[in-house]
């Protein structure tokens, strides 16, 4: 893998200049970047989600854009529109803020369904359509959407079918006491550090190809299928199981996990580590699970405990 392990280490070290802790967040972002998948983050305000995405854009030499989703946001304010210029008697194209390498869709569940759909179409097609004309988005293209888990008033929850478009859902927790002391130590010395660019976007594209070529044994492919199939048979806790798209996502994320751990092949632990991130938001929990306060992540952990590994 040549110098790729040192490249990944340098990226993590550079991000650590701005981020304290949040290893799970950094891992999720790098998995998304290396697989071309999009990330859904759930966490309370003030945990560094915006700073993390902005910092990653600096480190990989990519453009960054932030879209604050609100109930009155229009689809054209996300994707772009044609603006009439009377002095030229012509229309001028204005591509929206979705036209960036890393896009932070902040509080995506605060915008109505038509705006969510405009973003999700751009995520899926990697292009925007304005006045019938398609315009490609940059490569790499990573959307990181956030949701606030404690505020539900005035929100428009993402439908399950749209959640399925996200490669990973990561729940961002509070820092430890030691990490919070480090955050206090940094306060007052600087707001944000301007980070060095470790890798360029065209190199990211090459790394994505290497991740896709990471070897996975047929027995591990069967293990992935068994795990995903088990989500469809947990009748007491799950109303709707994960689709074959989940199997593809789990394989891709396991390959990225292997790559981030400096291996050119997937092992069982890569799949077990990736499964809660990939599957917890792709299942529809039953009333029984909801009443017993069993989360999607808890259900996936139960499935992993019951599914025989190769």
Helix (H) or strand (E) holding 221: helix 218-231
Residues 231, 194 within the same domain: no
* 209 within some domain: no
Residue 229 lies in a domain: yes
270 and 179 assigned to the same domain: no
Q: What is the pLDDT along the chain (310 residues), one digit of tens a residue?
A: 445 668 899 999 999 888 888 888 999 999 999 999 999 998 888 888 999 999 999 999 999 999 999 999 999 999 998 888 888 888 888 889 999 999 999 999 888 888 988 898 899 999 998 888 899 999 999 999 998 776 666 677 888 878 888 999 999 888 889 989 988 887 766 556 688 899 998 899 999 999 999 999 999 999 999 999 999 986 788 999 999 999 999 999 999 999 999 999 999 999 999 999 999 999 999 898 889 989 999 999 999 999 999 8
Q: What is the CATH number of the domain that holds 300?
A: 1.10.8.80
d(CA 47, CA 180): 11
User: Do 192 and 288 have their domain in common?
Assistant: no
- Whether 280 and 242 map to the same domain: the answer is yes
Considering the domain architecture, whether residues 12 and 105 belong to the same structural domain is answered as yes
Can you give the pLDDT at residue 2?
44
**How many structural domains comprise the chain?**
2
15 CB-near residues (< 8 Å, 6+ apart): 26, 52, 55, 56, 59, 195
- Report field, pTM of the whole predicted structure over 0.85: yes
Answer yes or no: is 208 within a domain: no
User: For residue range 34-45, what is the model confidence (pLDDT) as tens digits?
Assistant: 999 999 998 888
End of a domain among 201, 229, 247? 201
In a domain, 180, yes or no: yes
Residue 207 inside a domain? The answer is no
Which residues lie below 8 Å from residue 198, measured CB to CB, with a gap of 6+?
Answer: 7, 10, 11, 14, 59, 60
The domain spanning residue 30 has which CATH number? 3.40.50.300
105 in a domain, yes or no?
yes
- Are 38 and 72 found together in one domain? yes
- 114 and 226 co-located in one domain: no
**pLDDT tens for residues 55-80?**
999 999 999 999 999 999 999 999 99
Instruction: Give the domain range for residue 280.
Output: 214-306
Q: Do 104 and 244 belong to one domain?
A: no
Strands 90-95 and 80-85: antiparallel
User: Do β-strands 142-147 and 102-106 pair in parallel, antiparallel, or remain unpaired?
Assistant: parallel
Among 136, 167, 201, where does a domain finish? Answer: 201
Kindly state whether residues 36 and 159 are assigned to the same domain.
Answer: yes
């Amino acid at each position: 893998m040549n110098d790729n392990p040192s490249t990944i280490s340098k990226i993590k070290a550079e991000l650590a200049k701005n981020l304290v802790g949040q290893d799970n967040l950094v891992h999720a972002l790098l998995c998304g970047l290396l697989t071309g998948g999009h990330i859904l983050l759930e966490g309370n305000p003030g945990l560094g989600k915006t700073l993390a995405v902005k910092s990653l854009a600096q480190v990989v030499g990519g453009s960054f854009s932030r879209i604050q989703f609100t109930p009155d946001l229009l689809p054209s304010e996300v994707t772009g529109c044609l603006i009439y210029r009377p002095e030229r008697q012509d229309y001028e194209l204005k591509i929206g803020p979705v036209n960036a390498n890393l896009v932070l869709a902040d509080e995506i569940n605060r915008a109505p369904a038509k705006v969510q759909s405009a973003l999700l179409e751009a995520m899926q097609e990697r292009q925007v359509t304005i006045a019938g004309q398609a315009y490609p988005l940059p490569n790499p293209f990573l959307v990181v959407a956030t949701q606030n888990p404690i505020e539900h008033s005035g929100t428009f929850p993402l439908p399950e079918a749209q959640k399925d478009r996200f490669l990973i859902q990561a729940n961002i927790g509070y820092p430890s006491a030691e990490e919070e002391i480090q955050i206090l130590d940094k306060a007052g010395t600087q707001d944000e550090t301007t980070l060095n660019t470790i890798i360029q976007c065209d190199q990211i594209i090459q790394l994505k190809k290497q991740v896709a070529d990471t070897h996975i044994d047929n027995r591990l492919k069967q293990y992935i299928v068994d795990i995903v199939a088990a989500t469809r048979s947990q009748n007491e806790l799950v109303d709707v199981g994960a689709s074959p798209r989940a199997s593809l996502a789990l394989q891709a994320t396991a390959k990225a996990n292997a790559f981030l751990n400096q291996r050119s092949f997937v092992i069982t632990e890569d799949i077990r580590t990736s499964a809660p991130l990939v599957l917890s938001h792709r299942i529809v929990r039953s009333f029984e699970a909801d009443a017993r306060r069993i989360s999607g992540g808890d259900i996936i952990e139960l499935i992993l405990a019951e599914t025989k590994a190769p």
